[in-house]
Amino acid sequence: MEITWFGAGCVRLRGREGTVAADAYRSVVGPTGRGLTADIATYSHPDSQPVAQRGRTGASPPGASNGHRGPPADVPRPTSLESAFPLERPGEFEVHDVLLTGVRTFRDEAQGASRGTNVCFVYELDGLHTIHLGDIGHVLTEEMVGEIGSVDVACVPIGGALGAARAAELVAQLDAHLVLPLVVSENESAGSAELGRFLHEMGASDTVPQSKLVVTISSVPHESTVVVLEARSKS
């Protein structure tokens, strides 16, 4: 499986069964998507900074929630992802031979009262279980950990509502073998500082950024390892 970071919380997971784009908001990758394509597009929450001209939108699968605190039923997608199957809600799904599990979480410590709800998605690609935590703002409950299950790779937001120490605590709950911090802060300087604090918490201060990560079942490390990716726009 190949993992590429497109900036903020947007990552692409490319496996034999298919390709997934996680949190590819138009405010992150632009109205056209800059060539980002996928079979499946998952969205963990509404776009925090929607572009002024949204243009065409993609329809969600039946039953998607459109409550004022949850992800909208039609998150505007970039044109390059208009053909991708959209998922924005909790549940278990199989799309293009990819197994996905969406777990309801929140973007704050008050069960979404201030920043709204969030969906963490677990993807099974190439025999690996990868979780994208979206813009989660709290550590997990035992029930959430049970719903998520075993995780090999964790994509963790850094510089959002979750501080470095809490992010490290969340990683310990997941017991993931590979940890990919995603800087979601709009302020580049503040985001870099928070990433530094997270790496210190994880004991990985000397990590060298990589342009992408290619991982297989046989190459997964036995101990928790942090891999820092360069945003594709900067690589």
- Split at pLDDT 50, 70, 90, the class of 60 is very low
- Token duo for residue 27: 């405010």
Instruction: Give SS3 for 44.
Output: coil
- Structural domains for the chain: 2-226 (3.60.15.10)
Residues with Cβ within 8 Å of residue 219, at least 6 apart in sequence: none
Average pLDDT over residues 171-186: 96
Q: Report the C-alpha gap between 156 and 148 in whole angstroms.
A: 14
Mean pLDDT value of segment 69-97: 85
Q: Is the pLDDT of residue 84 over 70?
A: yes
Q: Which residue has the tokens 């201030």?
A: 114
**Looking at the predicted structure, is the pLDDT value of residue 65 above 50?**
no
Residue 219 has pLDDT above 50, yes or no: yes
Q: What percent of the chain has pLDDT over 90?
A: 82
| Tens digit of each residue's pLDDT (9 = 90 or more) over 33-57 | 999 999 999 999 998 776 543 333 3
What is the reported pLDDT for 75? 87
pTM of the full structure = 0.89
Give the type of residue at 115: R
For the residues 153-177, what does the mean pLDDT come to? 96
201 pLDDT above the threshold of 60: yes
- In this predicted structure, the answer to whether residue 59 has a pLDDT above a threshold of 50 is no
Kindly list the distances between the CA atom of residue 47 and the CA atoms of 24, 50, 139, in Å, as whole numbers in the listed order: 9, 5, 22
pLDDT number for residue 233: 66
Q: Give pLDDT tens digits for 101-160.
A: 999 999 999 999 999 999 999 999 999 999 999 999 999 999 999 999 999 999 999 999
Q: What is the number of helices (H) and of strands (E) in the chain? A: 4, 13
Total number of residues shown for the chain: 235
Confidence check: pLDDT of 3 > 80: yes
pLDDT of 66 higher than 90: no
Give yes or no for residue 235 having a pLDDT over 80: no
